Amino acid sequence: KEACGLRRATAWVASVFLAGYRYKRLTFLVGLWTVVVASVGCHALWFTSPGTHKVLLYALPTFVLGMNCLLSLEAVFSYATLRGYATYFHMLPTRNRSRLLLEIRVVTDRIVTTIFSGAVAAYVAYVGFNGLEGKALVTTPTANAFHIVETFLQMVYWATTTFSTVGYGDISPANGYGQLVAFLIEIQALAVLGIVFASLFASRDQAR
C-alpha cells in the first residue's frame, strides 16, 4: 500500500509538472525577466560594480541557451536511433496533421528558442560586460524603453547572423562573455544541420 501510494503521488507530481512546463514558455519568461532586470539595473551601482549578481544574471540565459543545444543533440540522437523525434521520442500525436509538418515544427522551435535565448544572453553580455563591439551598436541602453528595444533587436540581428554563419562583422564579440554566447549559438547551428541530415536519412530508410 505504501509503495502504491508513493507511486500515485509521484505520478501526480509528474503530471502537474508536465502540465505546467513548456520549454518555449520557460525560455520566453526567463528571457523577458532577464532583459527587464538588466535594463533597469544597467545604471545602478549594484549592476555596474563587480559582483556575483551580475554574473548570475548572465549565467541564466546562457544556461538556457546551452540546454537548447543539448535538446538539439537529443533530436539528432533520436533521428539516428528511432527514425523520428516529434512522433517517436516525444510521442506527439499526428491526428490530422502531417507527420513531416510536425517534425518541422519541432525543429523550428529549436531555431526560434536559440535565436531568442542567444539574443537575451548577448544583451546581458553587452550591457553588463561590454561583451560585444561594433560601429553598428547603439550606446549602452538607458532606462528609455525605445533604447532598450532597439538594443535588443540588434542582439536578435546578431544572434540570427551568427546562427546562420553569415557573420557580417559589424557586431562581434569583444571578450569572453560575448565569445561564449557566440560559441553556443554556432554549436546550435551545427546541431540543427545535424538534425536536417539525420531526418533526411531517416526518411530515406523509412521509404526503403
Q: Which of 18-22, 58-62, 131-135 has the lowest mean pLDDT?
A: 18-22
- The four Cα atoms 129, 132, 133, 136 give a dihedral, to 10 degrees, of -120
Please name the residue that has the C-alpha cell 508513493. Answer: 6
CA angle, corner 57, sides to 51 and 59, nearest 5?
A: 100
Q: Please say if the pLDDT value at position 92 is more than 90.
A: no
pTM, two decimal places: 0.78
Q: Indicate if the pLDDT at residue 4 is higher than 90.
A: no
Element (H, E) at 193: helix 176-207
139 pLDDT more than 80 = no
Specify the pLDDT at position 157. 92
Give the pLDDT confidence score for residue 25 in this predicted structure.
Answer: 75
**Which are the contacts of 75, defined by CB distance < 8 A and separation ≥ 6?**
85, 89, 106, 107, 110, 191, 195, 198
Phi, psi of 69 (to 5 degrees): -65, -40
CB atoms within 10 A of CB 196: 12
Question: Of all helices (H) and strands (E), which one includes residue 133?
Answer: strand 132-133
Alpha carbon distances (Å) from 208 to 5, 8, 100, 201, 203: 47, 43, 17, 11, 9
According to the per-residue pLDDT averaged within each range, which of 44-48, 81-85, 117-121 is highest? 117-121
Per-residue DSSP letter, 44: S
Amino acid, single-letter form, for residue 42: C
Residue 47 predicted with pLDDT over 60: no
